[in-house]
Structure 1
Amino acid sequence: MEALKDKVAYITGGSKGIGYGIARVLLDRGMRVAISGRNEAGVKAAVDSLDRERAMGVVSDVTQLEDEMEAVKAILYRWGQLDVVIANAGVGHFAPVDALSEKQWGEMIGTNLTGVFHTLKATLPALKESRGYYITVASLAGTNFFASGAGYNATKFGVVGFTQAAMLDLRPYDIKVSTIMPGSVASHFNNNEPGEKDAWKIQPEDIGELVWDLLKMHPRTLPSKIEVRPTRPDRK
């Protein structure tokens, strides 16, 4: 744990939900954390609710490589290093394939899949320097297909494949790469408003604890793909 104190993490989509839960856990453990989002007000509000000495916010749309490059510049300017990157930003549209619009398809591909690539491209020089850790937040939808999930499934299957191939590419640089595949999480995803109805689900801080466990793992060992789901399903 002492070795991780003051290490710097960058979390995309970190102003709420899973990303925010991860940020809180890492800050509580003594790390420094940068969170990003597309909405400046949302990012500012999230940072204001955290430890402002050890947290910073950057406005970035992961569909734009230039945004991610600028985000990394800002992080390095403030802290001079980047040790952990968590590609968490994601969107979901669910409809039968004949009803799924081109716009919805494009938004999911751009954010969920191309965004993961952009985040890695932008952060890779710093991760090579720090021999750091790159983690993607995929989904159980990256291995389990379902009706009305064609677009979302396509992106999450893609994230899992991309991350696992990147893991093999980056091992020679001593960069660790993992993908986390959560099931139902009590988050704002798909316009959900978390509440008591979501008590049975994985909580965002649970994913944060999982990330912390990965970071603490002995460097000789790499859990490269982790599935995580609620212990018990919802009982209506």
Structure 2
Amino acid sequence: MTRPGSRTRPLDDLSALVTGGSRGLGLLLAEQLAAQGAATVTIAARDRDELERAAELLRERTSATIRVAVCDVRERATVRELMRTTHEACGLDVVIANAGVIQVAPLAAVAAEQFQDAMGTIFEGALHTSLEALPYLRQSPAGGRLALIGSVGGLLAVPHLLPYSCAKAAVGSLAEGLHAEAGPGVSVTAVHPGLMRTGSHLQAEFGGDADREFGWFSALAGAPVVSMDARRAAARVVRAVGHRRTRLVLTPMARAAGLAHGLAPALTTKLTTLVAKALPEASGPGGLRQGHQAGEPAHPVARKLRTWGSKLNDRAVGPGNQRRPGPTTSA
């Protein structure tokens, strides 16, 4: 490995690990880590087959050494073993906690179990990853870098995404606290993306009137101007981690929403209440189903809006390894 002083880019020759790295943003983060100099990139997720397909894509796109590791971030012992084996195999300099799930439904259509699922995967996953990675990051000759992927949904509660928003808000607080207490030599970057075209609308879970929920979410998440190209977002995240930035908020809408909530929280809450009233009510069959199982909206105008809005997001399905259903969604 090249000595730290001889690197020309912040991440040159380093070893990086991404949880939730088998698809979506996590896969693109792994790609960008390699593109920006990382010598070895380990991607971790629950599904072995999905990981192997992701690794094939990354090996076609990059020259870095790609490693895969099956890991359920909800289980701390499993995460501990992941960090130990990665450190022994190739060192550990950069860790990005990205694993997550997305549930889109009105409150009346979700149960406490959906909140527990979101908190377990998103928050506890980030917590386990951070706690188990920090001892190794403190040993990094280059100085360890840790990044936690939050969301604009963690800066203010988004209607029909309440379990997700609660978990992402906890991740934001964790990142701020870790920045203060991670110890010398380790930087912590809090990342709060807005809407990104990752193809995750096919893997997200929808409840209530699932077809209509899928319609508005997939259209908005892929709409030009409103959403951001996921590869460009991943490149910005990796640059921020490389340069040890404390905080990164992506997309102008996300920055505006976070600023508005900070300056006028009562007004922002009233506005989100109005937005909630415009979204579908909790009708239709019970339970949650993934986006690939949802049908098209019944109304022809809604159907056209969904097709128009999600066109760019649909293009991200293949590059983001989102085609096959799986147990988790990279946020």
Structure 2: how far apart are the matches of 1:192 and 1:72?
27
Structure 1 residues 72 and 144, CA, compared in 2 at 3 Å: closer, same or farther? same
* Pair 1:59-2:70 in alignment: yes
The correspondence for 2:121, drawn from 90, 108, 111, is: 111
- The one-letter code of the counterpart of 1:61 is D
Superposition RMSD on alpha carbons, in Å? 2.5
Deviation at 1:190, TM superposition (A): 4.5
Structure 1 residues 30 and 122, CA, compared in 2 at 3 Å: closer, same or farther? same
For the Cα contact (< 8 Å) 2:145–2:242, is it kept in 1?
no
Q: Percent identity?
A: 25
Structure 1 residues 183 and 45, CA, compared in 2 at 3 Å: closer, same or farther? same
Deviation at 1:70, TM superposition (A): 1.7
Structure 2: how far apart are the matches of 1:161 and 1:3?
26
Structure 2: how far apart are the matches of 1:180 and 1:3?
18
Structure 1 residues 142 and 70, CA, compared in 2 at 3 Å: closer, same or farther? same
For the Cα contact (< 8 Å) 1:113–1:158, is it kept in 2?
yes
* Pair 1:204-2:230 in alignment: yes
> In structure 2, what is the equivalent of residue 42 of structure 1?
50
The correspondence for 2:102, drawn from 77, 92, 96, is: 92
The correspondence for 1:139, drawn from 128, 148, 151, is: 151
For the Cα contact (< 8 Å) 1:91–1:189, is it kept in 2?
no
- The one-letter code of the counterpart of 1:49 is L
Alignment TM-score, normalising by the size of structure 2: 0.63
Structure 2: how far apart are the matches of 1:53 and 1:84?
14
Structure 1 residues 107 and 159, CA, compared in 2 at 3 Å: closer, same or farther? same
Structure 1 residues 147 and 198, CA, compared in 2 at 3 Å: closer, same or farther? closer
How many residue pairs match? The answer is: 228
> In structure 1, what is the equivalent of residue 93 of structure 2?
83
* Pair 1:213-2:239 in alignment: yes
The correspondence for 2:20, drawn from 13, 16, 35, is: 13
For the Cα contact (< 8 Å) 1:91–1:190, is it kept in 2?
no
Alignment TM-score, normalising by the size of structure 1: 0.87
Deviation at 1:231, TM superposition (A): 7.3
> In structure 2, what is the equivalent of residue 152 of structure 1?
164
Structure 1 residues 212 and 150, CA, compared in 2 at 3 Å: closer, same or farther? closer
Deviation at 1:93, TM superposition (A): 1.3
Which is higher, the Rg of structure 1 or of structure 2?
A: 2
Structure 2: how far apart are the matches of 1:231 and 1:45?
33
Structure 1 residues 100 and 84, CA, compared in 2 at 3 Å: closer, same or farther? same
1:20-70 deviation per Cα after TM superposition (whole angstroms, max 9, x unaligned):
111111112331210011000001111122238611000001101111112
SS of 2:146's partner is strand
For the Cα contact (< 8 Å) 1:94–1:100, is it kept in 2?
no
